[in-house]
Amino acid sequence: MKTLLTKSMAGNARGLFLLSIAGALLTAASAAARAQVAPLAPRWLAGTPTPTVETFADGLARHHIDLTESALIAALAAPDGEVRSLAAAQLAAMDDHPALTAILDALDAEPDPQVQVNLAGAATWLGSNRALDRLQRLCQNLNVPSTTRLDAARYVSNKELPTCFSAVEQIEQAEQDASIRVLALQAAVIYRGQGDRAQALAVLALADRDPTVRIAAVEALRLLRATGAVDALGRALQVEGDDTVREHMRSAIRDLRAAVAEKNAEK
C-alpha cells in the first residue's frame, strides 16, 4: 500500500487512524485498485470543513484535469498546489514509471514545501532515491512548517528508515501548538521500527501542559500496547488534575494490564 499527503496530518500505509484529533489517511492501492484520498482541508482552504473521501481521479476531475499521462504531466505545472499534488499522486497510483522524470523536474521547481513533500512522496512510490533524500532533508529543516516536516517523516518511515524520527521527537517536545504536538505523537506511534522510542516519547508527554496532548500520549501508549508503561501511567494518574485525562489513564491502565494477563496466560 502507498500513501500520499495532499495536506499535512495524513497517516501512513498501515492504515492507522490513531487518535480522535483531526487527521486523514491518504492511500493509493496497486494499479488494480482505485487510489483513495481523504485529505484535510488544504492550507489554502484552512478553516473549511474536511472534504469527503474521494479518489485522486475524482479530485482531478473537480479541477477538470484529464487522466491521460500528457494531461497529468502538464498538470504538474498548474498554478494550484493541490492540482500539482494530485497529478503526481495519480501518476504514481497508475505506476507510471516513465513519468518519474517529470515529477522530479516538478519537484526541483516547486516553491511550496508542502507540495514538495507531496511530489517527493509520489516519486518515492515510483522508487526514487533522490526524492527520498529530499524528504529526509525536509523533515530535518527547522525552517519548514512542523506539519510538513511530519508528513515528510511519515513517507520516510514508510521506507523503514529511522532518519526522521529525531525530527518527530523535536516537534513533539518543542512545538508551541498543542494540536501539532498531538500530530507528532501520532507520527511517532506509526513510525516503523521505532516503537521503543515512540513509547519513551509518549511517556514524557504524559506531563505535557495541555490535556489534549496528555490524552494523546495515553492513547499512544494504549495503541503501542506499551505494557511496560503501566507504572508511568499510574504515577501520572496520581498527579493528574483533569477528570477526562484521568478517565483515559484509568482505561489505558486496565487495557494494558489485561494485555499483560493475556500474554502470561499464553505462556
Predicted structure pTM score: 0.79
Q: CATH 1.25.10 in the chain, residues?
A: 1-161, 181-267
- Of all residues in the chain, what percent carry a pLDDT higher than 90? 76
- Position 54 scores a pLDDT of 78
Q: How many whole angstroms separate alpha carbon 234 and alpha carbon 2?
A: 38
Task: Dump pLDDT digits (tens) for 147-179.
Answer: 999 999 999 999 999 999 999 999 999 999 999
Architecture of domain 181-267: Alpha Horseshoe (1.25)
Residue 106 has pLDDT above 60, yes or no: yes
Confidence of residue 266 (pLDDT cuts 50, 70, 90): confident
- Position 263 scores a pLDDT of 78
Task: Dump pLDDT digits (tens) for 178-212.
Answer: 999 999 999 999 999 999 999 999 999 999 999 99
- Position 176 scores a pLDDT of 96
Q: Cα separations (Å) of 31 from 16, 34, 144?
A: 22, 7, 33
Task: Dump pLDDT digits (tens) for 7-37.
Answer: 433 333 223 323 322 232 232 223 333 333 3
- Position 49 scores a pLDDT of 56
Nearest CA among 79, 75, 42 for reference residue 60: 75
Indicate the SS3 state at residue 55.
Answer: strand
CATH class of 1-161: mainly alpha
